[in-house]
Structure 1
């Protein structure tokens, strides 16, 4: 049993996975998350703010220290949409290097999608199916179609829960006019991707990322998040629409009190669930399966594969 670690610097949160792998299977793992919102206003300003960088560097440093305390040498650190888009990303990378002595791999949307797909396959209870993976992050949404033989279609869209919240939602709760603008904005960005995806026939849709797992936790009304209850949970589109109506019609204060919804995600969940609802509606799917295995697990298994050769 060998330990591996992976850190994902996302637009909304920074996540840590420590996984113990035996015979191509995770037998024990630990996950943690810090909501640092590094992508705050990046879509408007084009740069990472000093405050957001400092919050994120603190979280990364704490996670790296935890990895080293566990004497784990196999650590990979990736950054996605917000850092990828930021004009001052090199300055951030240098600051992290100075503070935590780790190198950050700023990955493309396509590589982000690949890692998410690899993670999903490793955690699937129906591994032979042809699947569509939807990964809604803070800054982007990755869409991947494939099966164990490989990826057949891969796309990364500038649709994210933080990005769309900052762009379209200005009042609390969201007004009907702003909701219509949000939906129109999502549909416009996703239009070409929807046309391509409709050409494929898939057995199942699988959702990964913070929006998907949060919706699973809200459906279960979890007071304490339990990944075992969320992994491979099936939700119908009607159950998602019920959650959407509850979220869209509530104030931020009310959302912060909802079971299963972390208070730090309460301000962006409306945009997140609307993105997912529009994609499923446009594609005509009746349900989605939530996976706890995502790009972090994909990054771990990529390390495992590399060490075999």
Structure 2
């Protein structure tokens, strides 16, 4: 068995899985909204309440790992622990009280794992791929050039991806550029929380996010080409899956219907427009959103809409997957669990 734990700014998530025909089969899962980064933008510290909530969630994860006797484990923490002045102290307390030693990963590794998780969703026709991960405290963008990779090998090339830019072989995914913006759904929301007008706040968040990606190489250059089928956009985040579920009209979230779905740009615009019309009170009472997601959905939607405005595309793939899945794929691949390669679509 393999286990992967991702402690982010908003959530603590863990998967326990076994390899299964080029993918993996989930044995057990855990996800809890811990809001570890609550107030971090304002104070620079992890609060006592946030630490308490997170330790309780980590204790549940530790119990599951012990129950299944999992030996192949990777446990990571991201933006909140990277930024907080007391992040190292918190991790030491977590190790002492739960027995879980979490590693704080760099933004490059966070991006690599998010990209790897999306490997099965990469189209064999795609030559230029933009993968983005809208987190709670940061957003990662990775632009890949797969034009030199055989179509049948493109998914495996992404699983083998290295951010260091090592030796480039004929079947190597080339990273055109990568950027990690310290703005996610929680941090962007907190930055403009004092703006009372909903539409104005949304516009300001969109403008500010675009300002922060102006140094991203694909922002300055036309890389998508003339054939729309050779450019693919894949989004992995709670924002993207929430928009996908809203488009489907799901009253109760169903990962099987959302993960991997193709979502048109028009459908995304319609969902975001509906969220804006609802306003804060209407979003809070929307049964499909839930209270936690309703508060942060517009900051994520501002990021999503900005990306679609900069790189227009007819549709994008929705990925209900992220660091946990990327860690599992990478660990299993490194141990030869996928002898015949990754099962890609």
Superposed pair shares fold, TM > 0.5: yes
Task: Say whether the 8 Å CA contact 2:9–2:35 is kept in structure 1.
Answer: yes
Query: Which of 118, 123, 126 in structure 1 is aligned with 2:123?
Result: 126
Task: Say whether the 8 Å CA contact 2:121–2:317 is kept in structure 1.
Answer: no
Provide the residue aligned with 2:149 in structure 1. none
Query: Which of 208, 229, 234 in structure 2 is aligned with 1:206?
Result: 234
Task: Say whether the 8 Å CA contact 2:38–2:46 is kept in structure 1.
Answer: yes
Provide the residue aligned with 1:169 in structure 2. 193
Higher relative contact order (CA 8 A, sep 6+): 2
- Give distance in 2, aligned partners of 1:119 and 1:287: 19
Give yes or no for the alignment of 1:222 onto 2:250: yes
- Give the TM-score, by structure 1 length: 0.91
Residues 176-215 of structure 1 mapped to structure 2, 5 A cutoff: 176-193=199-216, 195-196=218-219, 198-201=221-224, 203-215=231-243
Provide the residue aligned with 2:135 in structure 1. 137
Task: Say whether the 8 Å CA contact 2:265–2:308 is kept in structure 1.
Answer: yes
Residues 20-169 of structure 1 mapped to structure 2, 5 A cutoff: 20-121=18-119, 123-124=120-121, 126=123, 129-130=126-127, 131-146=129-144, 147=146, 148=157, 149-152=172-175, 153-169=177-193
Deviations 1:28-81 (A, max 9, x none): 454332111111121221111111111111111112212221222222111111
- Give distance in 2, aligned partners of 1:198 and 1:220: 34
Q: Which runs of 5+ in 2 are unaligned?
A: 147-156, 158-171, 225-229, 338-345
Sort the Cα spacing of 1:193 and 1:125 in 2 relative to 1 into closer, same or farther, 3 A: closer
Provide the residue aligned with 2:316 in structure 1. 288
Q: Which runs of 5+ in 1 are unaligned?
A: none
Query: Which of 286, 297, 316 in structure 2 is aligned with 1:258?
Result: 286
Q: What is the deviation of 1:251?
A: 3.8
Sort the Cα spacing of 1:9 and 1:128 in 2 relative to 1 into closer, same or farther, 3 A: farther
Q: Secondary structure at the match of 1:31?
A: strand
Sort the Cα spacing of 1:285 and 1:194 in 2 relative to 1 into closer, same or farther, 3 A: farther
Deviations 1:133-177 (A, max 9, x none): 0110111111112243324122211221101100013366x4333
Query: Which of 274, 282, 299 in structure 1 is aligned with 2:302?
Result: 274
Q: How many pairs were matched up?
A: 305
